[in-house]
Amino acid sequence: MGPVAVRGALLGCLCLALGYLCAADKLLSGIHEWKKLILVQHWPETVCEEVQNDCRDPPNYWTIHGLWPDKTEECNRSWHFNLEEIKDLLPEMKTYWPDVLHPSPNRSQFWKHEWEKHGTCAAQVEALDSQKKYFGKSLALYQKLDLSSVLLKLGITPSINYYQVGDFKDALTRVYGVVPKLQCLPPREGEAVQTLGQIELCLTKEDQQLRNCTDPGERPAPGQGLGLGLGLRVCEDGPFFYPPPKKTKH
């Protein structure tokens, strides 16, 4: 084979290899595609009750679980959590995004988990493309939507009496203008009703504006759980328990 033929063969192989690489890149990028964000807030009392943890005076307000892109997780396993990058946010993080089960000294493990599982995927969006932006935006959305205050204004407070899922969801829809998703723990043995554990408010990917959590004709996805072994699922129509906080002994 002459030199010209050899060069032609090598170029052909190079082009073929580049083609495979481009195709692989497109395939891999598709793995981490997502369409909406979910601001997930959980009720501390439910977290403590389900894992049978003797939480010490858990917050009596809704706290952040995370800001989750749908349908994807752990997009960049090499992008590790660095507490120094969010040190300016720590006072707010400790108040509104606490690790209810491990209040100290391991609270940063919860934030590490949320960043590495969800934040590295949310970082596809410019507004969330650093740890400080991701946690800062999550806190800003939490303050703006102000779920705890909204529920109080609606007269919905933790109670020994039951609420109806339909009434609760309708009330939130009237305030926010979009349909949220409620997640409950199923009744345990000896219990009559499900227990409210988590509320999800969904946002657009591009500009983080409120949107319905499900599209027309779309079936609600099952709950993703709290990442703590909790068996949350979409609340079934009917009554549910919104448990009042219990005082713990010091």
Residue 114 designated active-site: yes
Phi and psi for 41 in degrees, rounded to 5? Answer: -120, 140
Query: Residue 26 has which token pair?
Result: 């497109």
Contact 47, 100 (CB under 8 A): yes
Active-site choice (65, 92, 116, 200): 65
Query: Residue 36 has which token pair?
Result: 């909406």
Which residues, in sequence order, are CB contacts of 161 under 8 Å at separation 6+?
A: none
Contact 66, 118 (CB under 8 A): yes
Q: What is the largest CA-CA distance in the chain?
A: 89
215/161 Cα distance (integer angstroms) = 32
Contact 213, 126 (CB under 8 A): no
Active-site choice (50, 114, 116, 200): 114
184/108 Cα distance (integer angstroms) = 26
Residue 73 designated active-site: no
Query: Residue 18 has which token pair?
Result: 């580049």
Residue 113 designated active-site: no
40/56 Cα distance (integer angstroms) = 22
Catalytic positions, written as ranges: 65, 114, 118
